[in-house]
Structure formats: C-alpha cells, structure tokens
Amino acid sequence: MRGVFVTGTDTGIGKTLVSAWLARSWRASYWKPIQSGTVEGTDPAWVGRMAPGIEIIPPAVELQAPLSPHEAARRERRRIDLSTLVLPERERLVVEGAGGAMVPINDTALMVDLMVRFGLPAVVVARSGLGTINHTLMTLEVLRRRRVPLLGVVLNGQRNPANREAIEHFGGVPVLAEIQPLPAVTPAMLESLPAPSFACP
C-alpha cells in the first residue's frame, strides 16, 4: 500500500485542506481514524464535498465534543484503544490525524503513537507566518525521535521565503508545497491547485 499520514503543527492549520488536495490529486482514499467535534460537522464529510469521486472511509472513532480525542472520549465515558485502529487496505491512502503529533488519544497514548503504529511517511502541515519555525521544528524533532518517516512540510499562507529556508535548513526536510490563501474553498478552487510535485510514496 502507498500512502501518507497528514499531521500538523497545531489545530486549524489546514490539514484537512491538504489531505483533500493530496487525495484528489493522487485519486487516493481518505481516512480520518479519529474524528472529534461531530456536533460541528466532520472533516470526512467536508473532504467528500471538496473532492468528489474519491473514497471516504468512515472514521473508526467518532466523538461529539470539539476537543482533543482523550478529553472528548472521557466526556462520553469511552476510551480509545489503539489496537482497534487498523489501516484499511487500499492501493493509495491519505490518513489525517486529529490535531498535532502530541495530541493525547487516551491516558497513555499520543497521536505520534498512532503514526508509529501505522508506519506511513508523514506530511507536516504548518503555517507560513510568524511562529512557524519553532512549531515546525519541534514537530519534526518529535517525529524523528519516534522514527516516523518524514516526507516533508506543506506551508499554508502567504509565501515567506525566509521561513521556508529556515525550516528546510534547520529541519533537514524539503518544503513540498506552499498553498497560497484561497478566496474561497470550493471543489473548483481545489481542482485549480497545482498537482503535488511529489508522488504518493
């Protein structure tokens, strides 16, 4: 199987947009194994609207509160068991994490533990502006310590050559793409984005 695990340096960073872009470009299936915040809508439903025609695999865990998985599960008197989360068998697969690499899943496991379990190369989504160097380098450091394969970084926002150069230099990874601010996110707008310059690994 070929695929990636899309993580981010923060919540609301654009992971779902990047996941939809990659899935559409590669004609890959999309899966978000843990979805919290279902009371506000779900990322799989959004990806399905933005990238029609790709397979949307239902989440393994759905939680109502828009909180970190461990807290949302606690409020429902549930506990997420990593052993129940198994990668679907697909030719190409884009997996989207919940929050960043250090987000708790339960009382002992973090999102990075799920990344290790799946073994897919990571795409790190980060902002392009102020603060991104610190947040991105810390995320890369965590992933390296846990030996998660790194594909590279995607930057969201206005181009910032200095920040891109710093991330590539100090992070030792390529910036795979820079997605400029979009006037509106629609299927047509997503379709108009240039295809990734890198293949699905």
- Residue 16 marked ligand-binding: yes
- Residue 17 marked ligand-binding: yes
| Cβ contact 148:97 at 8 Å | no
**Is 144 tagged catalytic?**
no
Q: Which of 24, 32, 127, 164 is catalytic?
A: 32
- Residue 139 marked ligand-binding: no
Give the angle subtended at the CA of 125 by the CAs of 123 and 129, to the nearest 5°: 145
Tokens encoding 153: 């970084």
Nearest to 107 by CA among 85, 84, 82: 82
- Residue 155 marked ligand-binding: no
- Residue 14 marked ligand-binding: yes
| Cβ contact 90:28 at 8 Å | yes
- Residue 97 marked ligand-binding: yes
- Residue 172 marked ligand-binding: no
Give the C-alpha separation, 99 to 97, whole Å. Answer: 6
Residue numbers belonging to the annotated binding site for Mg(2+): 16, 43, 96
Residue numbers belonging to the annotated binding site for ATP: 12-17, 43, 96-99
Residue numbers belonging to the annotated binding site: 12-17, 36, 43, 96-99
Which residues carry out catalysis?
32
